[in-house]
Amino acid sequence: MTSKEKQTLRRQVAKLLVIRASGHNLDSLREYPQWELPNYQLQKLLEDGVGGVILHGGTFDEIQHRCAQLKSWSSQPIFLCADVEEGVGQRFQGGSWLPPPMALGMAYQKDSEEALKLAEEYGVSIGREARQCGLNWVLAPVCDVNTNPLNPVINMRSWSESPNAVKELTSAFLRGLTNQGVLGCAKHFPGHGDTSVDSHLELPVLNNDLPQLKDRELIPFKALIKDNVSSVMSAHLFLKKIDPIYPVTFSKKVLTHLLREEIGFQGLIITDALVMQAITKNYKSINSSSMAFEAGADLILMPEDAHEAIDSIVDLLISGRVSIRRLEESLERRNKALKHLDNSTDSIARKSHNPYDQASQEKEISCLSRKLIDISLECRNNIDISRFSRLINLIRVDDFHANSIVNRSSPALNIPHELGCINFITHSLGVSPWQNNSDEPLALDRFGDGSFLLQLFVRGNPFKGDAALREPWIQAVKQLQQNKRLAALIVYGSSYFWNELSAILEPSIPAAFCPAQMPLAQKKILEILFGSSIESEEFLSQSQFEFIN
């Protein structure tokens, strides 16, 4: 092969890569510089043929400019995608942020017909905002059936514990999403819902065999494939009864024999991010991209080193271990997906007669969020604030930064503060609230006298593992009840965690649960619990609070 032929081959292979970039235009604002290349390197890779970018961070307006900039750096159509499973606002400030999919699953149990309508609206709202800010590919829906309540990473990202409910809801979501002219992605094949390990941190090992997968995990994926979903994402799992040698992302038995040949999927197979520790702890980066391609993946998401990834796949092709025809098939699938985007955009443009009305759209999405919150929240009893001489508002979050669900403008802080509560925030980077006493784990002397309003933000989150589940909140609730110091309990997030806590909660204690964690859910719950204690005006003052964990 001549040097010119090899250079042509490199450009073809580069089209298979989807690399990470910050949504901020300035390098100095990158939130994850270990994964997000500086602009000069990003521009060079796009000029050299890299075929896609996954974005994170920035504002809704910034991402519009960023997408236009990235497209201008490339001489070809590229994929511009993001993990916006719960709305564009999940990753980009100013976008809409919806309750998690499990809220739809809870609604499905009560009224399946209404839940399916809401799931389609959910897809419409995400697809429309994604398209408006320049994205053309939404890495959703999550098709995992969350059969393990202790799942540390899927959890509320799943639509249900029922395969049929996940199938119906994700199909409705996909219908709404793709009607807005963006691509969808069924993930994480062949199912990440039965794991007890976060694949961002470790490689989960499962004993599930193929009959088990067919009876449960594969049901939603098969339905979405029938609905012509454009892409399927592999899970970083080790299914030792199906492939005793390789994890799913590197398994030809799973990606080619099962997904491509047996199930008959003809769209794009994309890996989950190769920077996840399920992969990096067990495989060298120089090998991971070529192993995934050899197994049957068409697109390589977030390789540790883009140049290494291209080189390794080129070497694989030159060696003859994988045929050039196999590369051509992946590129044909890529071109087909991009062509579908062009046709969808043209169709939407022809149908659209009204200019973009931001205020109207925000009102519509807010209405959807309120519906989902109302359907899924649980509340019992009211807080009589006059009973307490000193009320401590103790908030538990995973971390605390500018884009967090809890910040200086959050109702979880400001409403209790306006009512005279003393705010404390416990999070992973601060001083621990715990003491070395398994029966009474909460160090009450650090808070002073008073009763506690506990607001616990707990749900499966990538890279957090089971940290929240290892914290002794169940025993802490028992401790506060025994000491007559629990005024109220609120859980935002995991319904599984709420079920555990509510089972040991005294019936007279005011309590509430909502799968949503955003300010709208906080405000709704606190207004219900505090009832007449809250006046009609908005709580906009800046809260005073202390960090303890």
Q: Which residues lie below 8 Å from residue 57, measured CB to CB, with a gap of 6+?
A: 22, 23, 24, 29, 30, 31, 32, 91, 92, 403
Query: Which helix (DSSP H) or strand (DSSP E) does residue 250 occupy?
Result: none
What is 478-509 written as a DSSP string? HHHHHTT-EEEEEEEE-HHHHHHHHHTS-TTS
Amino acid at 375: I
Of 272, 298, 417, 427, which one is the catalytic site residue? 272
Alpha carbons 434 and 151: distance in angstroms, whole number: 24
Active site residue 272: yes
The count of other CB atoms within 10 Å of the CB of residue 45 is 20
Active site residue 200: yes
Which residue, among 314, 244, 225, 214, has the nearest Cα to 9 in the 3D structure?
Answer: 314
In 312-450, beta strands by DSSP E: 378-380, 391-396, 422-426
Task: State yes or no: cis peptide before 141, omega within 30 of 0.
Answer: yes
| Structure tokens belonging to residue 104 | 């739809």
The count of other CB atoms within 10 Å of the CB of residue 313 is 27
- Distance of CA 79 to CAs 9, 294, 301, Å? 20, 22, 11
Task: State yes or no: cis peptide before 188, omega within 30 of 0.
Answer: yes
Amino acid at 121: E
Alpha carbons 474 and 353: distance in angstroms, whole number: 55
| Structure tokens belonging to residue 172 | 């409705």
In 311-459, beta strands by DSSP E: 378-380, 391-396, 422-426, 451-458
Dihedrals φ, ψ of 166, to 5°? -60, -45
Of 24, 188, 200, 417, which one is the catalytic site residue? 200
**Residues β-bridged to residue 22:** 56
- Helices and strands counted in the chain (H then E): 19, 17
Task: State yes or no: cis peptide before 152, omega within 30 of 0.
Answer: no
Start-to-end CA distance of the chain, whole Å, equals 60
Alpha carbons 481 and 5: distance in angstroms, whole number: 73
What are the catalytic residues?
200, 272
